[in-house]
Amino acid sequence: METRNRSINSDMKKETINTVIRNRKSIYPKDYLKEDIPDSLIKEILINANHAPTHRLTQPWFFKIYKNQSKQKLVDIVRKIDDSKLSKIKLNKFIQKINESNVIISVFLNRDKKERLPKWEEIAAVSMSVQNMWLTCYVNNIGSYWSTPAFLKEYGDLVNLEENESSLGFFFMGVYHHKESPKLRDDINSKIDWQ
C-alpha cells in the first residue's frame, strides 16, 4: 500500500498549483518530439493517477500501457475493428496518432462488481485519475491528450474486457516543450450563481 506525507510542503506555493491547472491543455501527437519517456516517469504518472478521489475506495480505474514495440500490438487491434461501421479514414488517422506518440495509455473503468455506487460516480473517478495524469505530464514537459473514439466498445471486446469493465479512451503522450499560450475559457462569473 502506498503511503504519503500529509504535511504541506513549505516550499509549495498556491500559485504553483494554480499555474499547473490553468496552463494544462491538450497537446496532440503531431506535435510530440521523438524522445523517449522513461519508464520511471510513466510509473510516476500512474501513481498520481492512482491517487484520484474515489468514493468507497472502489478505485475503478485500470490501464494498459503501449510503448515502443507494444504500440504495434495496439495498431493490430485497431486494424481488426470493422470498418464497415466506422470510417477507414478515421481508423487510419487513429493509427497515425499511435505511431506519432511515445506512449499510449488505454484507460478503463473497472466497475464495482457489487454496484454499490452509481456508474457515473465511478466514471467521474476515472476521469479524475486521467486529470492527475494530465497534470503530471504537464509539469514534466510531456504533451498529452485524452481521445475517446467511436470504437471504444469494439476495442473493449477485442481486448476481452469483463462484463463490469469498459474502455474510456486512450491517453496519448509524447515529449513536448511547453510554450505557454492563452487558454480559451469563458469568464467564471457567467457560470456562478451565488446563493
What does the pLDDT look like over 30-65, one tens digit per residue? Answer: 999 999 999 999 999 999 999 999 999 999 999 999
Percent of the chain with pLDDT over 70: 94
6-10, 69-73, 87-91, 135-139: least confidently modelled range:
6-10
**Prediction pTM value:** 0.90
DSSP β-ladder status, 103-110 and 165-175: antiparallel
pLDDT at 145: 97
pLDDT at 56: 92
Q: Which three three-digit cell numbers place residue 52? A: 484520484
Q: Give the Cα separation of 145 and 97 in Å (integer).
A: 11
- Name residue, grid cell 472502489: 58
Q: Which three three-digit cell numbers place residue 64? A: 494498459
- List Cβ neighbours of 144 (8 Å cut-off, separation of 6 or more): 26, 27, 133, 134, 137, 138, 171, 172, 173, 174
- Domain range list for the chain: 28-177
* pLDDT exceeds cutoff 60 at 10: no
With bands split at pLDDT 50, 70 and 90, how would you rate the model's confidence at 3? low
Q: Which residue has the higher pLDDT, 12 or 156?
A: 156
The domain defined by 28-177 folds into: NADH Oxidase (3.40.109)
What does the pLDDT look like over 70-121, one tens digit per residue? Answer: 999 999 999 999 888 788 999 999 999 999 999 999 999 999 999 999 999 9
Percent of the chain with pLDDT over 90: 81
pLDDT at 5: 63
Find the mean pLDDT for residues 116-140: 97
Find the mean pLDDT for residues 145-153: 96
Q: Which residue has the higher pLDDT, 54 or 8?
A: 54
Find the mean pLDDT for residues 133-143: 97
b/e 54-77 (16+ beta carbons within 10 angstroms → b): beeebbbbebebbbeeebeebbeb
